Amino acid sequence: MAERISFHDQIRANKLKSFFLIAVIFVFFILLGWIIALAAPDFFFIIMIISIIFSLSYVLISYYNSDKIALASVKAKPANKNMHAKFFHAAESMSLASGLPMPRLFVMHSEQINAFASGRNPENAVICATDGCLEKLDKQELEGVIAHEMSHVANYDIRFMTLVAVAVGMVSILAELFLRSLWFSSSDKGRGKGGAILIVLGIVFAILAPLFAQLVSLAISRKREFTADATAVKFTRYPPGLAKALKKIKHEHVSEQDKHHYSKAVAPLFISDPFKKKIQNIFSTHPDVDLRIEKLERM
């Protein structure tokens, strides 16, 4: 028999791993900045500061309107208390269990079982479920899915992933500006053997750092899903509910036409990958469903 695991241990371990991974992204940023500082052309840092200010402004606007953007992208409609009574009952139960404010509920048209949460904090949270989620799941399975989504709210995952996006964006901006500025450089810093080595090192790091930073951000996304699964168990005290929902998600057939209801930008928010990629790898936003089920069954 497989060894039992504690949801408290899972929550703590995954949170620690997430913070470690975001620290890795900031290390990339500091190293890249240090290398470029030694080899950078004229006016590079002035251009970089202006670009980062514009980028941060864009991210902050998106952050404060994350719920509106996510709902509009999937054409979600407000849930109706009469038509979607099961949805409201599950959300109310999980609101009481978690101690969080009742989120605003929305429904999107899709036959597949899926749901997502958005909003910058618990007071501004929304949960959107698909038609398929509300029709195909029983009470306990739906509560497991809603608990998972409310876990993202409780853990401030939107805020955390926004911080990750800012960190990855800064690495990418820094690298892109450095590479582009080399074409217009009239600096003497790059002359001589030592300067040439620094520029080559800067180019290599500027090419690789954004890729590694993006891979780390995807790893963080997968860790946050494991954390939300474990926190959902904390709220429901019934691991089989979410586990059975994930089994239904795993075995359901989704038509290519139905996949068009989803925006690629919002796909990472959902409880499972709406595009149903068969092979999970380092470029996946979600962890392997079988591994998630296996962990839940051991709690």
CA torsion sign, 298 to 157 to 26 to 214?
A: positive
Which of the following is catalytic: 149, 252, 256, 294?
149
At 40 the three-state DSSP class reads coil
128 close to 263: Cβ distance less than 8 angstroms:
no
Question: What are the CB-based long-range contacts (under 8 Å, 24+) for 82-86?
Answer: 84/134, 86/134, 86/139, 86/142
24 close to 167: Cβ distance less than 8 angstroms:
no
CB-CB neighbours of 273 under 10 Å: 18
> How would you class 54 by CB atoms within 10 Å of its CB: exposed for 0-12, middle for 13-18, buried for 19 or more?
exposed
At 184 the three-state DSSP class reads helix
Give the DSSP letter string of 65-118: THHHHHHHHTT-EE--TTTTHHHHHHHHHHHHHHTPPPPEEEEE--SS--EEEE
Write out the E strands in 110-194: 115-118, 126-130
CA distance 58 to 68: 15
Residues present in the chain in total? 299
Sheet holding 77-78, edge to edge: 77-78, 104-108, 126-130, 115-118
- Give per-residue burial for 149-168: e unless 16+ CB within 10 Å, then b: bbbbbbbebbebbbbbebbb
DSSP for residue 41: -
Examine the residue annotation and report whether 176 is marked as an active-site residue of this protein: no
Task: List, by residue number, the catalytic residues.
Answer: 149
